[in-house]
Amino acid sequence: MINIASSTHVPVMPEEVLSFMKINPSGKYIDGTCGLGGHSKTILSNLSNNGFLLGLDIDNEAIKICKKNLSVVNSNFHIEKRSYSYFPEVLDELGIKRVDGILLDLGLSSLQLDSKNRGFSFMEDSKLDMRFNQEGEINAADIINKSSMSELADIMYYFGEERRSRLIAKKIFEHRPIEKVQDLVTIIKKCTPPNKRNKTMARVFQSFRIAVNDELENLKKFMGKYIKYLKKDGKIIIISFHSLEDRIVKHCFKASSKNGELSILTKKPIMSSKIEQVSNSRSKSAKLRCAVKI
């Protein structure tokens, strides 16, 4: 059952995205993480009948809503259930060699965060799932219950930058099996002082979500591929929500700039405005980086 309240997703920094992308009305664009279609709708609205948008996502619920949201704008789009790291295969299937711009918004959608049964948020008790792709074989409970104590600690330390990772891993190990969100929340509460608790929970949940969905490897794969599929003067825009992703994007942009493939347009990441942060709290941690192919 799709949560109707969550089907209107507010995209992060839409004006900044449009400003940097400088959309060519007859151009071809990729939204590699189309989600519910917030950014896709903005891009599509600026395309003529000769333009084209390819949207990619691996969340079945999101894709259904996205198609519905975009169909009211125009029909010059194609949504594919595929990870953004496999976009070259989709372009090849569509007979497209290069595009004018690519956007990645690496954050969770409101549909995922507000879900009552997918375990993305520590605020909602449900099964510890955390899969973007509901047909994926491994969920968060599998990782939590089948990993060794040191593997659990490493996941939380490297993917969540959580300093209490070893203590939390020990408690998880002692209390397994852990199937529900509140089981994990209870363990984190035992390991953290009240004033640090919510930040620790956010980091731990982030770490298992990254592990389940192989998020950092997906991003690295994408960063090694995208440049050859951009036209000259084509833009790449990536919005990240934590330092691990932002670091990958920053270093890859720098390397491509040094070898003369890219010109970086954002020397420092662009942050959302104070006004946007008030109306959309999700935008507070967002960092936008943009570069243009030389």
Residues 65, 58: Cα–Cα separation, whole Å: 13
pTM: 0.94
Q: Assess contact for 53 and 40: CB atoms under 8 A.
A: yes
CA distances for 198 relative to 30, 119, 121, 123, 136, angstroms: 35, 16, 11, 10, 28
Please state the domain extents for the chain.
4-111+216-293, 132-214
- Single-letter amino acid code for the residue at 263: S
Reduced to 3 states, what is the DSSP secondary structure of residue 123?
A: coil
Give the other-Cβ count within 10 Å of 134's Cβ. Answer: 12
Q: What CATH number labels 4-111+216-293?
A: 3.40.50.150
Q: Token pair of 17, please?
A: 């995205």
Give the other-Cβ count within 10 Å of 167's Cβ. Answer: 17
Give the right CATH number for 132-214 from 1.10.150.170, 3.40.50.10320, 3.30.450.20, 3.40.190.100. Answer: 1.10.150.170
Residues 21, 103: Cα–Cα separation, whole Å: 9
In tens digits, the chain (294 residues) has pLDDT values of 334 334 456 899 999 999 999 999 999 999 999 999 999 999 999 999 999 999 999 999 999 999 999 999 999 999 999 999 999 999 999 999 999 999 999 988 878 888 888 999 998 899 999 999 999 999 999 999 999 999 999 999 999 999 999 999 999 999 999 999 999 999 999 999 999 899 999 999 999 999 999 999 999 999 999 999 999 999 999 999 999 999 999 999 999 999 999 999 999 999 999 999 999 988 999 999 999 999
CA distances for 40 relative to 19, 24, 172, 236, angstroms: 15, 15, 40, 15
Residues 97, 104: Cα–Cα separation, whole Å: 19
Same fold, 4-111+216-293 and 132-214: no
Of 214, 193, 9, the closest CA to residue 105 belongs to 9
CA distances for 63 relative to 59, 72, 193, 266, angstroms: 6, 15, 40, 30
Q: Are strands 287-293 and 262-264 parallel, antiparallel or unpaired?
A: antiparallel
Residues 251, 45: Cα–Cα separation, whole Å: 32
- Cα 288–293–294 angle (5° rounding)? 135
Residues 90, 135: Cα–Cα separation, whole Å: 20
CA distances for 240 relative to 91, 219, 282, 288, 294, angstroms: 24, 11, 11, 7, 23
What are the E-state strand segments in the chain?
Answer: 28-31, 52-57, 77-81, 99-105, 230-240, 262-264, 270-271, 287-293
Residue-wise DSSP of 266-294: -SS-EE--HHHHHH-GGGGG-EEEEEEE-
